[in-house]
Amino acid sequence: MRLFDRTCLSGLVGAGLVAGALAATPVVARQQQEGPIDLTAQARPAKPAPAPMPTPAPTAAPTATPVPAAPSVPVTAAVPTGTATPVIEAPEALPVAHWTQADAQALLAAIRGIGTEGLFARDYEPAALSAAIKAGEGEPLDQLASRLFVWLAEDLRDGRTPMPARVQWFAIDPDQDNHPNAQLLAQATETHDIKGVLASLAPKHPDYALLKDMLGKTKDPKQIAMIRANMDRWRWLGQDLGLQYLIINVPEQELRLTVNNQVIRSYRAIVGKPGKTATPQLAEQVKNVVFNPTWTVPQSIVVGEGLGARLIGNPKQALREGYVATKSADGTINVVQQPGENNALGRVKLDMPNEHAIYIHDTPSRQLFAQPQRALSHGCIRAERATELAMTMAILGADLPPETAVEYNLSGKYTKVPMLKPWAVYVTYFTVARDVNGMMRSFTDLYGRDAPVIASFAQARQLHTSQRKSNEAVIKLDNPL
């Protein structure tokens, strides 16, 4: 049975969802989202040429004077067992600028008020800075104020949590490249706008502002620690997430299509089971929308479960089951599941090349989306109403005419549509965030990733290093079953 009949698909690919995306309408409750979508009022650009079905086979910063870094205080974070031993990288040299007493007073005021951002004034030595200000302008004030400004700017820009405590965090934050320390320091001291430069570094996503508001109203110490941890997670991402993007919150088990930081559509998601198949946190780009995908079966199934040996000598049986099995010169058996309703990837797949082999796809087991707990996969992300999502992506990101999207889907043939516009994907991990109804709430910490972050906040601030992502071993989680 087809996923949708032609009548349903014609209604699906109409004006409503695309128009909503272009207008960046706000998030709505799930019960208002379940009906068919009309996308037909769009312009009709020429068809992109689909890719053929695969054969079965395997900102420069201103110059600044570096000064020796202050001694680092190691953080003993509660990193789960089984993870790689952290590699300690040397802290980077810090730039120095000339500080007037007025600018240093502005920095001191920012430090004393930094608790509203979920950080700790004690990390930035307010007593020492106050004493240096009283002593007057000169090299001691320049050295100390420069160091404390950079520390504060780094934490607001990149997050306070040291990398070893960011378990399975592989999303590289570009902000320190776009706004390097020396550039920020020069801008703040030359324009005498210390407060403004620091304020410009805070995350721009609406959820950060909501978390900040919650922090100001919460009295419970455990809730405060949770809010601080999740505010910091927003700093681990780039300030500019892009015009249009997908964002998956793993603890919530939800995927959102977002334009201008406004949620256009929410989809239930199935994420990785806890343990070795837990979904890592990523920042990638969708490169292709694939209709009627094939699935190259992992060797863990081909060999480990005997699928290859069973099919290689019986091509008719393989055909009946929807597989093509081939043997290479070295004796390796490769098995490719052909497009169809029973394909492990379902009807569509979103290619987002990454070293973990994580991607977003449909599933033939759509009844699983009704379950409240959906940490069921081997790492990849399965999306509810994936055909709708893929068609919307193809229309908005590849200028595909809606009728063509319907045609490709119903053809039953492998069709890869390259994206023409950047479309980022963020696989995140927020345990306090907005739900599908736009309400702030907490979610179960599926993988136990809050504890290391909270533990790091209880320790003295650790110096930032050149490390940009987790150095844990990369496990290719390419089995969607």
pLDDT tens per residue, range 230-272 = 999 999 999 999 999 999 999 999 999 998 888 999 999 999 9
CATH class in words for 6-42+241-294+339-428: mainly beta
Mean pLDDT over the full length of the chain: 85
Higher model confidence: residue 149 or residue 1? 149
Is the pLDDT assigned to residue 125 strictly greater than 50? yes
Q: What is the 3-state secondary structure (H, E, C) of the chain?
A: CCCCCHHHHHHHCEHHHHHHHHHCCCCCCHHHCCCCCCECCCCCCCCCCCECCCCCCCCCCCCCCCECCCCCCCCCCCCCCCCCCCCCCCECCECCCCCCHHHHHHHHHHHHCHHHHCCCHHHHCHHHHHHHHHHCCCHHHHHHHHHHHHHHHHHHHHCCCCHHHCCCECCCCCHHHHCCHHHHHHHHHHHCCHHHHHHCCCCCCHHHHHHHHHHHHCCCHHHHHHHHHHHHHHHCCCCCCCCEEEEEECCCCEEEEEECCEEEEEEEEEEECCCCCCCCEEEEECCEEEECCCEECCHHHHCCCCHHHHHHCCHHHHHHCCEEEEECCCCCEEEEECCCCCCCCCCEEEECCCCCCCCEECCCCHHHHHCCCCEEECCCEEECCHHHHHHHHHHHHHCCCHHHHHHHHHHCCCEEEECCCCCEEEEECCCEEECCCCCEEECCCCCCCHHHHHHHHHCCCCCCECCCCCCCCCCCCCCCC
Residue 57 banded pLDDT, cuts 50, 70, 90: very low
% the chain with pLDDT above 70: 80
pLDDT of residue 4: 41
Is the pLDDT assigned to residue 18 strictly greater than 90? no
Is the pLDDT assigned to residue 85 strictly greater than 80? no
Q: pLDDT tens across 171-228, in order?
A: 999 999 999 999 999 999 999 999 999 999 999 999 999 999 999 999 999 999 999 9
Q: pLDDT tens across 291-341, in order?
A: 999 999 988 889 988 999 999 989 999 999 999 999 999 999 999 999 998
Is the pLDDT assigned to residue 15 strictly greater than 90? no
Residue 359 banded pLDDT, cuts 50, 70, 90: very high
pLDDT of residue 52: 54
pLDDT of residue 421: 92
- pTM of structure: 0.83
pLDDT of residue 260: 84
Flag the least confident range among 25-34, 97-106, 394-403.
25-34
% the chain with pLDDT above 90: 74
Is the pLDDT assigned to residue 81 strictly greater than 50? no
pLDDT of residue 40: 28
Q: Where are the domains of the chain?
A: 6-42+241-294+339-428, 101-238+449-458, 302-336
